[in-house]
Amino acid sequence: MNDLSLAELGEIESLRRTVSRLKSGEQTIVGSGDDAAVVAATDSFLVSTDTLVENHDFKLDWSSGFDLGFKSVASNLADIAAMGAKPTVLVVAMVVPKTTKISWLESFADGLQAACDQLSPGSAIVGGDLASGDQVVISVTVHGKLDGLEPVLRSGAKVGDVVAVCGPLGKAACGLALLQSGNQDLIRSYDDWVNAQLRPAPPIDQGVVANQAGASSMLDVSDGLVRDLGRIAKASNVTLEIDRSQLSGYEAMLDLPAQGLGVDPLGWVLQGGEDHSLLATFPASATLPRSFKIIGKVVAKTAQDVLLDGQPVADTGWDSISGK
């Protein structure tokens, strides 16, 4: 059979061709094919879910099936990593137009598998659902395990802790701005930044490393640095103060595409989301993992949740309801 649509192939054949591209994982006892998967579990387990909606969270003009498969897994894996845990299995539910070509769905499955292999070896897609509708909607649920560790919550930051980041800041937002510009020359010239938006690669394994190093709070930067700092501040009843000089390296990484677009890269660093980097606080006495960079400190609660060099900073970032 050539590149037929899902309507031409039907549900059974479409699923068969898609699921056949996925592999079992370390915790999989029974994978996709029965009414439910069976997964090995000897400890407390974590569950998180996320949904991506066409023309709200992504555009098919920009993203291939592979891109969306990779991104939908990456963002979910980061939620488990941000709890200081290891991802194990995922289930994926999709709504796609019935005119969708099977090659697109196969490419999507390849993206799912590639993200598991590259970002969290041993994790696996163990099931899901496929339905037809007017637009593409992707919902992924991920499970994880703690292996005897305690989960790292947002509410554990203490006055005197340091604030640190593992991974890029503003790179995915820069890629989005390049795509939105429509400037093909810039998009081709800065494809690494564009790929950070289309296929983010968060440091999944560093979540457990941070937990073992004594992280007092943690989350992943999905909605922008300032907004996510504010979430830790509110949950912990503290204020997080960021040192602008410690952000200069992140700005420098964005300087060339920022010049091409005529914008200040600091905005991407502070308000840009979807990097899914790990944002954590650690006791000042802790030995930080080498992958984490200190960018600030935790101070006593003030009228502001987040300060930049002692001054208030606008709480802006991605809002999943408004789409802004």
Q: Are 259 and 139 in contact (CB under 8 A)?
A: no
Q: Are residues 67 and 194 in the same domain?
A: no
C-alpha 194/C-alpha 140 separation (Å) is 23
Q: Are residues 179 and 241 in the same domain?
A: yes
Q: Are 225 and 268 in contact (CB under 8 A)?
A: no
Q: Are 68 and 138 in contact (CB under 8 A)?
A: yes
Nearest CA to 307 among 253, 238, 248? 238
C-alpha 276/C-alpha 180 separation (Å) is 20
Instruction: Indicate the residue type of 9.
Output: L
CATH of the domain at 61: 3.30.1330.10
Q: Which helix (H) or strand (E) holds 311?
A: strand 311-312
Structure tokens at 152: 């790292």
C-alpha 81/C-alpha 278 separation (Å) is 8
SS3 for 296?
strand
Query: Is residue 164 in a domain?
Result: yes
Q: Are 170 and 84 in contact (CB under 8 A)?
A: no
Determine the Cα angle at 80 with ends 169 and 162, to 5°. 50
Query: Is residue 291 in a domain?
Result: yes
Domain boundary among 115, 145, 175: 145
pLDDT digit string, tens, across residues 65-103: 999 999 999 999 999 999 999 999 999 999 999 999 999
Q: Are 166 and 213 in contact (CB under 8 A)?
A: no
Q: Are residues 247 and 280 in the same domain?
A: yes
User: Which residue, chain included where needed, has tokens 């010049």?
Assistant: 259
- The alpha carbon of 199 is separated from its chain's Cα centroid by a whole number of angstroms, namely 9
Which residues in the chain come in under a pLDDT of 70? 1-2, 22, 30-37, 39, 318-324
So what's the pLDDT on residue 34? 59
Domain boundary among 145, 167, 190: 145
The full DSSP string for 30-85 is E-BTBSS-EE--SS-EEEEEEEEEBTTTB-TTT--HHHHHHHHHHHHHHHHHTTT-
Q: Are residues 255 and 294 in the same domain?
A: yes
Nearest CA to 76 among 46, 42, 104, 39? 46
So what's the pLDDT on residue 319? 66
Query: Is residue 323 in a domain?
Result: no
So what's the pLDDT on residue 37? 59
So what's the pLDDT on residue 324? 57
C-alpha 197/C-alpha 215 separation (Å) is 27
Q: What are phi and psi of 227, to 5 degrees?
A: -60, -40
**pTM value surpassing 0.85:** yes
C-alpha 238/C-alpha 300 separation (Å) is 5
Residues of the domain holding 265: 154-312
- For residue 10, count other CB atoms closer than 10 A to its CB: 12
CATH of the domain at 223: 3.90.650.10
Q: Are residues 123 and 232 in the same domain?
A: no
Q: Are residues 70 and 180 in the same domain?
A: no
So what's the pLDDT on residue 56? 92
Query: Is residue 125 in a domain?
Result: yes
